[in-house]
Copies of this chain bind each other. A is one copy, B any other.
């Protein structure tokens, strides 16, 4: 089954990838590594600090939405998601208060999606940690690295 077929089976329609407005780009490939910029959710997602303004479950949903945005960017970069050999690394950034403990449960929203979509090739290294503030007070931002064939 191709990744595109798996997306259809999962009932997933990829969003339109966001476009950066400053002097940076959404993706750079060097050798077999594809780097994706730090990615947030759409403007419709709830904002603020997870554990304070959002529940962990809401944070999970935002992380999943960010994951979809990342996959849409990879599709945009490669043209064909079957060129993904491996999800290598995820840096999961959670906007939270000093006493928050559940960053991994939030970033699971992205990690679970990667494995649903790419199977074993979706299993990645990651850090899921707390940031004092993210741009425009988005709740979750995620940066990712892929191996490309």
Question: Using a CB–CB distance below 8 Å, which chain A residues touch chain B?
Answer: 22-28, 30-33, 35-38, 49, 85-86, 88-91, 93, 96-104, 108, 111-112, 114-115, 122-137, 141, 143, 145, 147
Contact = CB atoms under 8 A, between A and B. Distances in A.
A125 B35 contact: yes
B133 A38 contact: no
A123 to B, nearest CB: 5
A125 to B, nearest CB: 4
A86 B32 contact: no
Nearest to A100: B133
Contacts of A123: 23-25, 28
B22 A108 contact: yes
A132 B101 CA distance: 11
Given A23-B111, A23-B115, A89 B129 contact: no
A96 B129 contact: no
Nearest to A73: B125
